[in-house]
């Protein structure tokens, strides 16, 4: 019995297509995909609306997009804004713009130049964020590097190496309202090597803890090393 060949899908201008299995999907303009999609690669330039889930080996979004279901890919690149109503799962993620998820964001390597906002949890092996990181639940990362550019928050952050740096120099929004200040707000930070700036936390717990300028920490628990900047506030520090 002959195997059915998997077709390519191309949409130019304004158009739509039904869900299904494709080899390559390319859209230019305003496109809608109705139903669940599986493909080897997706390239969307313009506006793409996915009314279902999508699983692809690699995805590239240039413009604006939305997905009503799970977004799962090996390599995902975003230049623009993408809203996902469920989880985002990947091997590697590069955002230049904004990614919003009503679920969790889970993957190996993430690099964000802009904003990553999600209602659920975030899990990464390695993550670099230059901008805003807003996590409704817990953030777990083997290595996390966060350069603050606006308000950031999470309930808890856990990892091996956690580095949070404050943007040098004030932005216009920092003067307009404290709610837009470049600051990380979190209940608990726990890791091996922790270096913080511009962070407000109830508890920081780690092997080596360095509290830098602009921090407000309720309690620090450390095992081997502890430093605190004169430009930081720490309620109490305990060696465990």
pLDDT at 6: 82
pLDDT band (50, 70, 90) for residue 158: very high
Is residue 94 included in any domain, yes or no? Answer: no
User: 61 and 5, same structural domain?
Assistant: yes
Interacting residues of 109 by C-beta distance below 8 A, sequence separation 6+: 91, 92, 93, 124, 125, 126, 127
Q: What is the mean pLDDT of residues 64-78?
A: 97
Is residue 87 included in any domain, yes or no? Answer: no
Is residue 135 included in any domain, yes or no? Answer: yes
User: 34 and 117, same structural domain?
Assistant: no
Number of domains into which the chain is organized:
2
Q: How far apart are CA 129 and CA 114, in angstroms?
A: 8
pLDDT band (50, 70, 90) for residue 49: very high
pLDDT in tens, 126-136: 999 999 999 99
User: 217 and 114, same structural domain?
Assistant: yes
Q: Virtual CA dihedral for 145, 91, 134, 158, nearest 10 degrees? A: -60
User: 118 and 235, same structural domain?
Assistant: yes
Q: Which residue has the higher pLDDT, 77 or 5?
A: 77
Q: Virtual CA dihedral for 51, 57, 62, 63, nearest 10 degrees? A: 20
Is residue 95 included in any domain, yes or no? Answer: no
b/e sequence 130-154, b meaning 16+ C-beta within 10 Å = bbbbbbbebbbbbbbbbbbbbbbbb
pLDDT band (50, 70, 90) for residue 240: confident
Is residue 123 included in any domain, yes or no? Answer: yes
pLDDT at 2: 39
User: 123 and 25, same structural domain?
Assistant: no
For residue 133, the enclosing domain spans 104-239
User: 212 and 144, same structural domain?
Assistant: yes
User: 7 and 111, same structural domain?
Assistant: no
pLDDT above 60 for 179: no
User: 222 and 108, same structural domain?
Assistant: yes
pLDDT in tens, 164-176: 999 765 544 455 5
Looking at the whole model, is its pTM more than 0.85? yes
User: 43 and 111, same structural domain?
Assistant: no
User: 138 and 186, same structural domain?
Assistant: yes
Name residue, tokens 């936390």: 201
User: 138 and 49, same structural domain?
Assistant: no
Is residue 38 included in any domain, yes or no? Answer: yes
3-state helix, strand, coil in the chain (%, to 5): 5, 75, 20
Is residue 65 included in any domain, yes or no? Answer: yes
Is residue 14 included in any domain, yes or no? Answer: yes
């Amino acid at each position: 019995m002959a195997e059915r060949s998997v077709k390519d899908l191309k949409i130019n201008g304004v158009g739509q297509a039904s869900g299904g299995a494709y080899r390559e999907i390319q859209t230019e303009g305003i496109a809608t995909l109705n139903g669940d999609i599986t493909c080897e690669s997706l390239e969307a330039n313009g506006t793409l609306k996915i009314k279902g889930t999508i699983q692809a080996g690699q995805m590239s979004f240039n413009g604006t997009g939305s997905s009503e279901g799970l977004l799962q890919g090996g390599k995902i690149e975003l230049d623009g804004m993408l809203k996902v109503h469920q989880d985002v799962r990947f091997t590697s993620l590069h955002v230049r713009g904004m990614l919003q998820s009503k679920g969790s964001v889970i993957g190996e390597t993430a690099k964000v130049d802009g904003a990553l906002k999600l209602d659920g949890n975030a899990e990464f092996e390695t993550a670099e964020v230059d901008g805003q990181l807003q996590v409704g639940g817990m953030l777990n990362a083997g290595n996390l590097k966060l350069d603050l550019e606006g308000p950031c928050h999470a309930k808890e952050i856990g990892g091996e190496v956690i580095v949070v740096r404050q943007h040098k120099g004030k932005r216009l929004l920092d003067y307009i309202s404290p709610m837009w200040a470049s600051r990380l707000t979190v209940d608990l930070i726990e890791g091996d090597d922790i270096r913080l700036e511009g962070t407000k936390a109830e508890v920081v717990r780690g092997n080596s803890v360095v509290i830098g300028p602009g921090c407000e920490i309720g309690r620090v628990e450390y095992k081997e090393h502890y430093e605190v900047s004169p430009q930081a506030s720490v309620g109490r520090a305990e060696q465990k």
